[in-house]
């Protein structure tokens, strides 16, 4: 496995792979790798001959008071996990390699960045779009793999790749979960003994909504009320948002569901390591069955 620090070296390496007829896959990460990241690597391996994993804690996607300084950076452990997973190249640039002195260019995907996490984390998705564009330009992959847990991010990156004619296939991988249903996240490490058992409430709220839709509920307000009741069962949970959105456009869902709808949650839990606590996200796409009169 090769560790690369510079954009030029990565471009040369990836160019040589493509010139040799080999497909290149990129898995962008911020490190602190867990089984969810390794699932992305496995999907990348299925789709390409050469797998590049980037490890870069991107400063431009963290807002004031967020956990940039405290974000875990177990680099040697991450390298060991990459070796075990059969990664070919780890791209781990210093900040100045991706943001050289005087850099003033940013990438924004305007509409998709506004709701959900974009509303509560101003500037976050500008940072995401900018760094992902830089990483895609550095690796110039045939395919890039992201997790569906960050649904809004995945939708935004798909739009970015189409709009900027980047010629890369963007692939989403279903969320990997702990045995109790909590979505795997690097931020789970910040949960304490009191908050960790309560964090599973996100998954329980999603499952309650799925069950209600399966039983025939279509009213958006009723579904969101059900979700909030479930979240209220965790006394330490502070709701950031619980929203139903169109899965493609992220526009608000209609008052009555007539087709698939994204149910997206963001919840914050207190943590001893930071004043703003641990912010967790999760989602599911609700898929109402077609009415009998609509079936062929």
| Residue positions annotated with a catalytic role | 37
Q: Report which of 238, 247, 234, 242 is spatially closest to residue 264, judged by C-alpha positions.
A: 242
Two structure tokens written together for 249: 């456009």
The residue count of the chain comes to 296
Two structure tokens written together for 12: 């040369």
Separation of alpha carbons 280 and 268, rounded Å = 6
Strands (E), 66-160: 89-91, 143-147
Two structure tokens written together for 190: 């910040």
Distance of CA 292 to the CA centre of its chain: 36
67 DSSP 8-state letter: S
Starting at the earlier edge strand, list the strands of the sheet with 143-147.
2-4, 89-91, 50-55, 24-29, 143-147, 169-173
**Which residues, other chains included, contact 115 with Cβ-Cβ below 8 Å and sequence gap of 6+?**
152, 243, 245, 250
Answer yes or no: are the C-beta atoms of 52 and 24 closer than 8 Å.
yes
**Which residues, other chains included, contact 205 with Cβ-Cβ below 8 Å and sequence gap of 6+?**
227, 230, 231, 242, 265
Separation of alpha carbons 130 and 66, rounded Å = 19
Interstrand relation of 261-271 and 274-286 (parallel, antiparallel or unpaired)? antiparallel
């Amino acid at each position: 496995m090769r560790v690369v620090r510079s954009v030029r070296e990565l471009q040369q390496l990836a160019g040589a792979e493509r010139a040799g007829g080999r497909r290149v896959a990129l898995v962008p990460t911020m490190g602190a790798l867990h089984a969810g990241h390794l699932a992305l690597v496995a999907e990348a391996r299925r789709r390409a001959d050469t797998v590049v994993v980037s490890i870069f804690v991107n400063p431009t996607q963290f807002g004031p008071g967020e956990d940039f300084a405290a974000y875990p950076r177990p680099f040697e452990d991450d390298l060991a996990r990459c070796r075990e997973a059969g990664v070919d190249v780890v791209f781990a640039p210093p900040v100045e390699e991706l943001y050289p002195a005087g850099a003033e260019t940013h990438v924004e995907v305007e509409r998709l960045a506004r709701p959900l996490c974009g509303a509560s984390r101003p500037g976050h998705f500008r940072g995401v779009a900018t760094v992902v564009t830089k990483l895609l330009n550095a690796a110039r992959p045939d395919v890039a793999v992201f997790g569906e847990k960050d649904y809004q991010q995945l939708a935004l990156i798909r739009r970015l790749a189409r709009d900027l004619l980047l010629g890369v296939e963007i692939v989403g991988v279903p969320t990997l979960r702990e045995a109790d249903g909590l979505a795997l996240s690097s931020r789970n490490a910040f949960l304490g003994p009191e908050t960790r058992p309560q964090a599973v409430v996100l998954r329980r709220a999603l499952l309650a909504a799925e069950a209600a839709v399966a039983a025939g509920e279509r009213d958006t307000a009723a579904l969101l009320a059900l979700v909030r009741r479930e979240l209220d069962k965790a006394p330490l949970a502070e709701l950031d948002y619980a929203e139903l959105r169109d899965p493609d456009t992220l526009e608000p869902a209609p008052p009555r569901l007539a087709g698939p709808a994204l149910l997206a949650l963001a919840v914050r839990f207190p943590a001893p390591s930071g004043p703003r606590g641990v912010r967790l996200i999760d989602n599911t796409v609700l898929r109402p069955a077609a009415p009998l009169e609509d079936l062929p």
